[in-house]
Amino acid sequence: HIIASHIPEELVEKWNVKVHEYQNWNAVWESDYPLVKISDQLLIKAPFHEAPEDFSGLVIDIQPKMSFGTGHHNTTALISNYMYEMQLDGKRVLDMGAGTGILAILAEKLGAREILAVDNEVWAFENMQENVELNKCQNIDCWHDDKVPTSSGDFDVIVANINKNILFDFSTDFSQILKPNGYILLSGFFDTDIEDVNSKYASQGLTEFTQLSRDGWAMCVLKKQ
């Protein structure tokens, strides 16, 4: 009504005002927020939802806020599924661009002994801390930074679900801190970019181990020889 009242009358043909009855819009939003079943092994849910009684796999609680990584995107599903294929027991893992911390949390639940989760956005950093506590994780160190932690030692596995340009910027640092025979899981780009990503990381001494795609989104797994 306020907006329309400032429009010259000759420009207005017809407009209506509808008054909605009061309701708890947050409760309505929560009721429409879907659980994410990545596979028979992994379910991602918000803390205001209950996991199905017949689900026997891992359950991760993610408080949905402004950070990326609620499990609904194909790239998260691609990396999460592949992490189950790996042996993470006792491994040291870097989650770069961690967002909600979902992949770091999964790494701990899969047996990683030490995980460093890094994000440059303050709200993501605070959200990942909240989710780490929510999932009762003990082995995750959360950092607020925009740089690859090159001074923090070497990693057995690096996961990075970021955009293509940032993955290119980080390629040298990633290759530097990855242990020999270590793996990097990269996603956040389209399947049409796979060749470019592999070529960029090949120049850093990393070779493609496998690639996966889903609905146009891709993930590359590279190994340091």
pLDDT averaged over the chain? Answer: 88
Q: How confident is the model at residue 32 (pLDDT cuts 50, 70, 90)?
A: low
100 Cβ contact partners less than 8 Å away, ≥ 6 residues apart: 62, 63, 64, 65, 67, 68, 69, 70, 124, 127, 128, 131
Q: What is the pLDDT of residue 206?
A: 96
Parallel, antiparallel or unpaired: strands 140-144 and 114-119:
parallel
For 149, counting Cβ atoms within 10 Å of its Cβ (0-12 exposed, 13-18 middle, 19+ buried), the class is: middle
CA dihedral 93, 71, 86, 169 (to 10 degrees): -50
Task: State mean pLDDT over 170-193.
Answer: 96
Q: How confident is the model at residue 47 (pLDDT cuts 50, 70, 90)?
A: confident
- Cβ atoms of 172 and 108 closer than 8 Å: no
Count CB-CB contacts under 10 A for residue 131: 29
94 vs 160: CA distance, rounded Å: 8
Nearest CA-CA partner of 15 in 23, 5, 25, 24? 5
pLDDT at 41 over 70: yes
74 vs 53: CA distance, rounded Å: 25
Token pair of 44 as six digits: 């991602």
Q: Calculate what percentage of the chain has a pLDDT beyond 90.
A: 65
Condensed to tens digits (0 to 9), the pLDDT of residues 110-135 reads 999 999 999 999 999 999 999 999 99
Q: Calculate what percentage of the chain has a pLDDT beyond 70.
A: 86
Task: State mean pLDDT over 159-188.
Answer: 96
